Amino acid sequence: MKINYEILMENQLKEIEKTGIKPKLLLHSCCAPCSSAILEFLQNYFDITVYFYNPNITFEEEYYKRLNEQREYHEKRGYSIKVIEGKYDPR
């Protein structure tokens, strides 16, 4: 029998809603476009902190451009999502 993870998630979110408390959630993100849809959805249920980390980006300028876009994405939409970053080390 296959597990339907969407139904499991919906059930978990219903339980969270019943409590009236937003649990904390640490979510990894490699860039704003990759995380935008899930953050838009989950920010209604969780107190989210985004951990931005992507050592696969070769150029430091591009890394910080993406990090800043991650922060600006939340600010522009009025989300109260914190962003912390991992150490940039492309080696």
Per-residue pLDDT reduced to its tens digit, 69-91: 999 998 999 888 999 998 888 77
Angle of helix 32-42 relative to helix 60-77, nearest 10 degrees, comes to 30
Give the range of the structural domain holding residue 57, as residue numbers without chain letter. Answer: 24-85
CA trace torsion 20, 27, 73, 61 (10° rounding): 160
In a domain? residue 18 = no
Whole-number Å distance between alpha carbons of 56 and 60: 10
In a domain? residue 38 = yes
In a domain? residue 91 = no
In a domain? residue 11 = no
**pLDDT at residue 20, rounded to an integer:** 93
In a domain? residue 64 = yes
Q: Which amino acid is at 23?
A: P
Domain count within the chain: 1
In a domain? residue 16 = no
**pLDDT at residue 5, rounded to an integer:** 95
